Amino acid sequence: MKYNPVTEEILAELREIVGEKNVMTDEEKIEAYSHDETPAEQYGHMPEVVLTPNTAEEIAAVMKLANRELIPVTPSGARSGLSGGAIPDHGGIVVSVENMDEVIEIDYDNLMMVLEPGVITNSVNEMLEESGLFFAGYPMSVETCFLGGNIAENAGGGKAVKYGVTGRYVMGLEVVTPTGDIVQLGGKRVKDVTGYDLKQLIVGSEGTLGIVTKAIIKLLPKPTQRVGLLALFKDEATAISTVPKIMTEGRIIPTSIEFMDKLSVKTSCEYLNEHLPYQEAGAMLLIEVDGNKEDVVNADSETIGELCLDNDAIEVYVADNHTTRERIWSVRRNIAEAFKVVSPHQSLEDIVVPTANIPKLMPYLDEISEKYEIKVPCYGHAGDGNLHATLVKNPDHSMEKWFEIEEKALEDLYRATKELGGTLSGEHGIGSKRKKYMEMMLDPAELNLMRGIKKAFDPNNIMNPGKIFDLE
């Protein structure tokens, strides 16, 4: 596909549509829109122009123009993504929803909220704080990411064991289609089988099928009590074998079951100057339960704690207040940051395998680590099998060698993941980062169905082209 450049005439037309001050071409300003949280030197690409429209109608007009002129359009949120989804791979226009950050309605009678896509996810819950309600979408980047991006990526996070992922809470969407129509999908309806569920098709479509301009999300009553447990185990297999027992024997669905291997815990603790007795532990589980009754939540946490001890946990710590909860969670949250200190170059992966197969994956990771002389820490959401195995560049290797290793090691990793019934990405998405592994992972017939859907939505292939898969 050959796209056309953004000419002065087109810029003038864009200024007409979104207003002078919402058009950016200054290189210094638009540089920020050329990358997300993936390494910029590998995946970054400059846009030609960045627009910050204020309405769906403006975006629709931009899409009509882009179709007429064959200019690629890339939707952009907070750019905290981890797969390159918001990067304008083919230049062209970036449509940033940052100005569309209004809370349109909090509907207490239906337990729903209507928002624009540029609202920061964390602020949703800050706004709801006094209402006794909350939005259960909880990606780890909650303090920076936008709701629109969460929907586009179907973000997951640390509470998915109990609350599921973002898509579960999306009741309705207003979407500008690639051809410039504004459609209302779903609504404030708990049940709806009126035709295909296009709303859920948009969720997780990584900005390739449309731009979300409004979202109706479902709210839940907010639990008042939380207790965290940090359990130390001698090795990964022992830790992971405890996970299913929590649900089958304990009959409890925790809010979170996070897993950290020895290398992750050690690196994070050293980074934080945290004095947990991590030297003795080969792996840790961070388990949290929530609810509304203090004694029930305490009893649940005790049941889980006992299960861990029965399952050879070395020690189980209890965190039932803000100070201690923050301490154990910060170990988990700072792992990625801690490895950036070890080496700024890494490939943060997002594989997902059936939960019971997590221990089987570990020998593969050790193998990759040894074969390529790189560190491969593994941590993530044990409760749902979603693991952030990370390839960390060996500081002694040159960048060329690293790129070479990264590609081979990723292939090894994905092959092992597939063998164990797993797949490429649980919550970060494919974007451009994992695109080349799609054919290895998916059946050709399935990929062709996806291509067909893309063509039906976007006949000129101008909306976020080159993401997830190539059309040809």
How many residues touch another protein under the rule CB under 8 A: the total is 24
Q: Considering the rule CB under 8 A, would residue 20 count as an interface residue with another protein?
A: no
Please tell me the distance from the alpha carbon of residue 353 to that of residue 384, in angstroms, as a whole number.
8
Q: In this chain, which stretch among 206-214, 259-267, 323-331, 379-387 interacts with another protein, using CB under 8 A?
A: 323-331
Q: In this chain, which stretch among 174-182, 298-306, 341-349, 463-471 interacts with another protein, using CB under 8 A?
A: 298-306
Please tell me the distance from the alpha carbon of residue 176 to that of residue 58, in angstroms, as a whole number.
10
Please tell me the distance from the alpha carbon of residue 233 to that of residue 316, in angstroms, as a whole number.
9
Q: Considering the rule CB under 8 A, would residue 279 count as an interface residue with another protein?
A: no
Region 302-321 residues binding another protein, contact defined as CB under 8 A: 302, 305-306, 309, 315-321
Q: Considering the rule CB under 8 A, would residue 326 count as an interface residue with another protein?
A: yes
| Nearer to another protein among residue 230 and residue 365 (C-beta) | 230
CB of 100 to another protein, least distance (A): 18
CB of 326 to another protein, least distance (A): 8
**Run of H or E residues at 213:** strand 211-218
Of 80, 88, 132, 77, the C-alpha closest to 108 is: 132
| Nearer to another protein among residue 46 and residue 442 (C-beta) | 46
Is 11 in contact with 23 (CB distance < 8 Å)? yes
Q: Considering the rule CB under 8 A, would residue 328 count as an interface residue with another protein?
A: yes
Region 117-156 residues binding another protein, contact defined as CB under 8 A: 130
Q: Considering the rule CB under 8 A, would residue 60 count as an interface residue with another protein?
A: no
Please tell me the distance from the alpha carbon of residue 238 to that of residue 280, in angstroms, as a whole number.
14
CB of 15 to another protein, least distance (A): 14
Residue 348 token pair: 């943060």
Please tell me the distance from the alpha carbon of residue 153 to that of residue 166, in angstroms, as a whole number.
9
Region 79-108 residues binding another protein, contact defined as CB under 8 A: none
| Nearer to another protein among residue 246 and residue 319 (C-beta) | 319
Q: Considering the rule CB under 8 A, would residue 229 count as an interface residue with another protein?
A: yes
Of 376, 235, 429, the C-alpha closest to 314 is: 235
Region 21-50 residues binding another protein, contact defined as CB under 8 A: 26, 28
Of the candidates 190, 275, 443, 472, which one interacts with another protein according to CB under 8 A? Answer: 275
Q: Considering the rule CB under 8 A, would residue 324 count as an interface residue with another protein?
A: yes
Q: Hey, which residues does 288 pair with through a beta bridge?
A: 228, 256
State which amino acid sits at residue 382: A
Per 3-state DSSP, the chain is made up of helix, strand and coil in percentages (nearest 5) of: 40, 20, 40
Angle, in degrees to the nearest 10, between helices 335-342 and 322-333:
40
| Nearer to another protein among residue 316 and residue 353 (C-beta) | 316
Please tell me the distance from the alpha carbon of residue 196 to that of residue 187, in angstroms, as a whole number.
14
DSSP result, 251-264? ----SEEEEEEHHH
CB of 183 to another protein, least distance (A): 34
**Run of H or E residues at 431:** none
Distance of CA 412 to the CA centre of its chain: 23
CB of 335 to another protein, least distance (A): 18
| Nearer to another protein among residue 105 and residue 306 (C-beta) | 306
CB of 46 to another protein, least distance (A): 17
CB of 23 to another protein, least distance (A): 13
Q: Which residues bind another protein (CB under 8 A)?
A: 26, 28, 130, 229-230, 275-276, 302, 305-306, 309, 315-324, 326-328
